[in-house]
């Protein structure tokens, strides 16, 4: 039984929507997807709910981070590059190049799935927050993300 109140939703009217996004990367870096996610959420006829974004890869990840000052992205990339060096002598897994095992470690240190509350058919991000795909490989890749929105 659903409780009634100012922040409660009747679960009988629950809806779900799912969509896949393909993103072409140009190599290592952060690729903002906030506008794409906002646009998709706005078209789903779901006012209040929870959005899950899932990255279907083991060498890329997702982050929510500041989108106002590009120096934040520069510093994040530098931190991960220094923290997880591309040095084949450090890893047993070497078959896919010097950047592959570090890419897996970076993905393990970040997230491949994030949840964001939705209200008024929009992700409830903070003023300076953006959603990013974090590409950890040096070569260009086609990355697939799944968006799943549940709510009413």
Question: Model confidence over 12-54: pLDDT tens digits?
Answer: 789 999 999 999 999 999 999 999 999 999 999 999 999 999 9
pTM: 0.91
Query: Binning pLDDT at 50, 70 and 90, where does residue 9 land?
Result: low
The CATH code of the domain at 19-151 is 2.60.120.460
Q: Determine contact, residues 62/112, Cβ cutoff 8 Å.
A: yes
Residue 98 and residue 85: Cα distance in Å, rounded?
A: 9
């Amino acid at each position: 039984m659903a409780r009634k109140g100012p922040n409660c939703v009747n679960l009988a009217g629950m809806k779900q929507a799912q969509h896949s996004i393909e993103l072409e990367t140009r190599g290592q870096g952060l690729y903002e997807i906030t506008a794409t996610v906002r646009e998709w959420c706005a078209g789903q006829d779901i006012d209040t709910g929870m959005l899950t974004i899932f990255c279907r890869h083991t060498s890329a990840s997702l982050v929510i981070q500041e989108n106002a000052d590009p120096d934040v992205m520069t510093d994040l990339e530098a931190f991960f590059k220094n923290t997880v060096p591309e040095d084949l002598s450090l890893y047993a897994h070497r078959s896919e190049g010097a950047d592959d095992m570090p890419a897996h470690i970076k993905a393990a240190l970040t997230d491949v799935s994030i949840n964001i509350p939705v209200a008024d058919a929009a992700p409830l991000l903070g003023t300076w927050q953006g959603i990013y795909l974090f590409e950890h490989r040096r070569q260009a890749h086609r990355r697939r993300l799944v968006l799943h929105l549940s709510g009413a």
